[in-house]
Amino acid sequence: MISIGTMIILAVVLALITRVFLMKHKLLSWVLFSAYTAFSVFVLLKLYGNWNYFETMNLSYLVGRINMRPGFMNKPLGWFFSFFVMAMSFLNSFFSMGFSKSIHSRNIVPHWLMILAASLTVFFTKDWLLFIIGWETLGWASFFIIMGGKQKKYKDSMSYYFFSLVSGMLLIAAVWMIGIKFRTLNIHTTTRSMIILAKNTPWQAFPILLMLTLSFLIKSGAYPFHIWAPRAHKSAPADFSPFISGIMIKFGIFGLLLYVIPIVSKGYAGYSIFGMPVFAWVFSWLGIITSAIATVLAFSENDAKRLMAYSSVANAGYIITAIFLGTALGIKGGLLHAFNHMIFKAVIFMTIAAVVYRTGETDMNKMGGLAYKMPITFMTFLLGIIAAAGIAPMNGFVSKWMIYQALLGQKHYFMTVAMFFASTGAFLYLYRALHAIFLGQIREVHEREVKEVPFLMQIPMWIGMILMFGLGVFPGYLLRPMMPLMKTFGSSISESLNVVQGSVGSLNTLFSTVIFILGVVIAAAIFFLSAKTHKTPMMDNYTSGEDPEEWNVTPNKYQFSYGFYEPITKMFAWALKRSVDKAYFKASYILKIIGREINMIFTDHNNWGYAALLGLLAMIIGGLFL
């Protein structure tokens, strides 16, 4: 049996090897990466069910007065997240092997391996110390991947690193407060102590929980910390975006489920509102607000990757809402949606990466009609957005249905309506992306050059399609293994393959699939029985009889989905005007101004007198008031 510690060390060693020796052999390092992830998947599969497994490292750390031996523990929650991390990275590695273009940075593999090591640490650790170490390693490793050695991407990667640092600092402070209070840094024993603390003296538990929650929400891209998500996704290498969206955003969800949710749902004894602790209620609403705002922002987005990033933020919002409900159904729905989202969003980003691979574009206004040239990619994307929009029979439907059921079961009607709005919006902007990229008329450049991606890159797409459809028809294949996981959250329903239990009713996914297939058959029948299609040149039908030349429009410039949702964008213009981005930029600008003024204190010796006075004043004020 290979221990988890060995797997982590192996990843770090491989990272060093690829960084030092294999910088010139990109393909070889990707093969190594692939082998490592496959091996980890194998090791993890053997670990499944062995929930009492733990190991202690042969090192001892003295942290303050706490003498600790770090170690790892196999818990269902951590197992599931790490399994998905490894499996998705494994799928992604095929894609990256094919993707290895000349512009593809060589720095990706070593840093990605560091991220894998860090994520194994975070998911399996039994104490907070290793959790912090893994958590902060994610930040700088991702920074270097996202920047990829390009000056114009530096700002986006820095915004990710900044939020990562903020999250890390909040985490350290919260962990220390836990450590000082309970004299131990063990995650699982302090959970129990925290539940008791929250029951007896909620005001002592509140700051700790708040800091932890904020730290985790930053990593999930919740409002108002969402601004890193579109920037990081946009700038990241095309084959790393699936990982950011599928996995990195879920680290926050993992943290919440690991620590905050059990305490809030079990131990909170403060004020409650609508039958929910105020704390959980506020953050449930924050999830809804996040998804609503992300949806509105996605409407006006022209960049495919940024649009999908906003979609990821919106999905993180659904998950946050669901898990903060605290009911077994809510947590189950949230978890299932998290895993489903990992699959379908990773697949969607892979298709976008495939498009980038062939066209080099992410601007949707410069694409169109690629469906004829890249049919497999198109099919994958289509199934992906059906899943993302939450339409039967794909996997996104089941989990969204469960979240709605959980909301309705707790009688949160407002939340349900707000979430329904966000979900409908998701359908609209996803369709727009589909249309802009794959439908409509193809540009002349693309007509000549673009073809389907190589087979190696198609492998993960095929697997993704099968997974999305299979888990949509038989969600039991995921829900059944999840039973030990749900047991830790107090639900012991035994799942069947195709019937999902809600709070108001149950859903037979096989039945809804049959209906869907019937619909497809009827539509196909109408299509084949009706009049034959005939091709028309682009300028004939798009411009309603106007002469395009008068407007200076040529077929190459014409893009049907340009300004697609302009009315909706106008409708929300008031909201978009006050963006959080601007507030952050303003703050950064002010910081620079202050820095310049302080520089003047040091460099201009005319100011020394004032400086001395300032120091003296600080001492006097401190002596008097602190």
Partner 1 sequence: MNTYLTLLIILPVFAAFLMYFFRKADNWINIAIMSFVTLFGTVSSLVMLFSQGSEVVALGGWKPPYGIVLVGDRLSLIFVALIYLITYLIAQFGGIERTKVNDHKSGALFMLLTAAAAGMILTGDLFNFFVFMELAAISSYVLIAKGGCRSSYTGALKYIFTGGLASMLMLLGIGILYNTTGTLNIAHLMLRIGLVGDSLRWLALGLVLCGILLKMEVFPFNLWVPESYKGAPAGMKIVLGSILSTVGGYTLIRLYPILIQNPGLIKMLLPLALLSLILAELAAYREKHINRLLGYSSAGQMALVMLAILFGGRMGIYAAIFIVIAHALAKAVLFFVGAHFKKSTDSSMWESYRGLSKTSPIGAVLFTVAALSLTGIPGMMGFWGKLSMIGAGLASAKYFSIGIILIITIVEGVYFLRISGTLYQSNESDVKAKASYLLIPAVILVLIIVLIGFWPGCISKIINGGVSAAERSSEYAKLVLDYLL
Interacting residue ranges for partner 1, rule: CB under 8 A: 59-65, 107, 132-134, 136-137, 139-140, 143-144, 147, 149-151, 154, 157-158, 161-162, 165-166, 169-170, 172-173, 176-177, 179-180, 591-592, 594-596, 598-599, 601-603, 605, 608, 611-612, 614-616, 618-623, 626
| In the complex, minimum distance from the CB of residue 169 to partner 1, in angstroms, rounded to a whole number | 4
Contact 364, 429 (CB under 8 A): no
| In the complex, minimum distance from the CB of residue 168 to partner 1, in angstroms, rounded to a whole number | 8
| In the complex, minimum distance from the CB of residue 594 to partner 1, in angstroms, rounded to a whole number | 6
What is the C-alpha separation between 615 and 623, in angstroms, rounded? Answer: 12
CB closer to partner 1, 143 vs 397: 143
CB closer to partner 1, 132 vs 320: 132
Phi, psi dihedral angles at 302 (to 5 degrees): -105, -10
CB closer to partner 1, 492 vs 606: 606
CB closer to partner 1, 515 vs 612: 612
Neighbouring residues of 24: CB distance < 8 A, sequence distance ≥ 6 = 106
What DSSP element (H or E) covers 68?
Answer: strand 66-68
Phi, psi dihedral angles at 498 (to 5 degrees): -130, 10
- Length reported for the chain: 626
The answer, yes or no, to whether the previous bond of 484 is cis (omega within 30 of 0) is no
CB closer to partner 1, 117 vs 343: 117
| In the complex, minimum distance from the CB of residue 343 to partner 1, in angstroms, rounded to a whole number | 31
| In the complex, minimum distance from the CB of residue 8 to partner 1, in angstroms, rounded to a whole number | 12
CB closer to partner 1, 136 vs 239: 136
The answer, yes or no, to whether the previous bond of 224 is cis (omega within 30 of 0) is yes
CB closer to partner 1, 173 vs 376: 173
| In the complex, minimum distance from the CB of residue 132 to partner 1, in angstroms, rounded to a whole number | 7
Mapping DSSP onto H, E and C, the string for 545-578 reads CCCHHHHCCCCCCCCCCCCCCHHHHHHCHHHHHC
| In the complex, minimum distance from the CB of residue 148 to partner 1, in angstroms, rounded to a whole number | 9
Neighbouring residues of 391: CB distance < 8 A, sequence distance ≥ 6 = 397, 427
| In the complex, minimum distance from the CB of residue 593 to partner 1, in angstroms, rounded to a whole number | 9
CB closer to partner 1, 150 vs 435: 150
Phi, psi dihedral angles at 411 (to 5 degrees): 60, 40
Distances from the Cα of 300 to the Cα of 156, 394, 470, 565, 566, angstroms:
20, 26, 33, 7, 8
